[in-house]
Amino acid sequence: MLLIKSPLTRKPERDYILDVLFHHFLGLSYEILYEEREDVEISLPGSNGVIRLADVLLRTEEDRWLTSRSMPREPIEHSVHARFGAVPILYGQRGRSGLYIEEGQDDCYCGIDILGSSFFMLTRYEELLANKRDARDRFPSESSIAYRANFLDRPIVNEYVEIFWELMKKRWPRIERKDRQASLVLSHDVDWPFYSFGKSPIRMLKDSLADIVKRRNYEASYLKARAAWRTRGGELIDDPFNTFRWLMTLSEKAGLRSAFYFITEETVAGLDGNYSVYNPEIQSLMREIHGRGHEIGLHPSYDTYNSPDRISRQFQILLDIAGKNGIRQERWGGRQHYLRWKGPETWQYWEEAGLDYDSTLGYADSPGFRCGVCYEYPVFNLLSREPLNLVEKPLIVMEQTVWKGSAGQTKEEAALEQIGSLYQQCRSFGGQFTLLWHNSEFVTNEQRTTYRKCLDQ
């Protein structure tokens, strides 16, 4: 068991980040001793060697805590690492030699504030201080320090953990960590389960014509015209958004399990989908998803991220519908509609509603590591200073953030390049690559082919 000697300041915050990094991420047991000191000291009783960590963020004075004066200094400094190259240092203090890492025969000083920097990323500290929000009241990627310092495409917390693990393993070769296997986590927000719901054949034919005239998308035009003809009697098998069986079959062939997140209540007309979970077709779909071993989850509607009552009510609706249809799950989670989230309130509301996990935290305008990590982790309420039981599964890629194309590349090529790069990052850490692809975004053959290739990586 490791012995960790820690400064006395901010005990709830320290307890939390030590638990996440040492217990949840590394699987190590430890004992904490709080005392008057200026750094964090880690040792393995009965073995030689001590590691001292710089302690910066969690020593912040009370009048600076949760203010802009406690943000990392920019431009961000870097420390060169053999595996990761130039590692961004959010918080740290150079050693006497001017280096961030100084190693002696037994002892080591790590000037990277691994605990504070990880706490900053995992709790979304900067978002609590941010004034800039987009038109949908979301924190945009360009406002993040990861974007400004050009490390949004790197799971920086994982890098910090690996650097620290190397230092420990060098001093205590017999120490062992939790074994991790990389995984692909697939989810599908069900905004529009069926294209034809609520649309007359004439409206669908107009949409079909618009695909030709405005978008030059002949394939989408054909599918919508076919839907207009074949759904007249309520038949949904040829509906272009009805990709559920296809998605489940692909997941099953790859040995994966898909999660489908449903909207259970409308709060803003026109933005909260085109269906009711009380519709027999939707409940039949839910039963089929569950029967094939896939997951049902919650997709709280547009105006819920700041409403505990709405989140709780909508989750209860889902549980009631599930119960009436014989759907039982050990774990319930989901994702906020439009990725609307405000920290730490939305996390707190999910916790109070009784949900087990959230998978909202990716950016609506960019792929990458919003939380700086590719592991799921229990979250922390910065305002109440309490850890929550709720687990965050960070969202790494939403299809709309990579389906853009670029100079010299098709949309498919650009998407596969970005997805492949981020997936390899997750894989190198034995992490979870969380991919959101809406069921309604497979209208073209190019989209379907790209998705298949994602599952083959």
To the question of domain 183-194+241-456 being in CATH 3.20.20.370, the answer is: yes
pLDDT at 406: 72
pTM listed for this prediction: 0.94
The secondary structure of the chain, three-state, reads: CEEEEECCCCHHHHHHHHHHHHHHHCCCCEEEEECCCCCEEEECCCCCCEEEECCCHHHCCCCCCCCHHHCCCCCCEEEEECCCEEEEECCECCCCCCCCEEECCCEEEECECHHHHHHHHHCCHHHHHCCCCCCCCCCCHHHCHHHHCCCCCCCHHHHHHHHHHHHHHHHCCCCCCCCCCCEEEEEEEECCCCCCCCCCHHHHHHHHHHHHHCCCCHHHHHHHHHHHHHCCCCCCCCCCCCCHHHHHHHHHHCCCCEEEEECCCCCCCCCCCCCCCCCHHHHHHHHHHHHCCCEEEECCCHHHCCCHHHHHHHHHHHHHHHHHCCCCCCCCEECCHHHCCCCCHHHHHHHHHCCCEECCCCCCCCCCCCCCCCCCEEEEECCCCEEEEEEECCCCEEHHHHCCCECCECHHHHHHHHHHHHHHHHHHCCCEEEEECCCCCCCCHHHHHHHHHHHHC
* pLDDT value, residue 229: 47
pLDDT for residue 430:
98
The domain segmentation of the chain, as residue ranges, is: 2-171, 183-194+241-456
Position 195 scores a pLDDT of 83
In this predicted structure, what is the pLDDT of residue 131? 87
pLDDT of residue 234: 58
Would you write out the chain's pLDDT as a tens digit for each of its 457 residues?
999 999 999 999 999 999 999 999 999 999 999 999 999 999 999 999 999 999 999 999 999 999 999 999 999 999 999 999 999 999 999 999 999 999 988 899 999 999 999 999 999 999 999 889 999 999 999 999 999 999 999 999 999 999 999 999 999 999 999 999 999 999 999 999 998 765 556 555 555 565 665 555 655 555 555 555 455 445 677 788 999 999 999 999 999 999 999 999 999 998 999 899 999 999 999 999 999 999 999 999 999 999 999 999 999 999 999 999 999 999 999 999 999 999 999 999 999 999 999 999 999 999 999 999 999 999 999 999 999 999 999 999 999 999 987 777 899 999 999 999 999 999 999 999 999 999 999 988 999 999 999 998 7
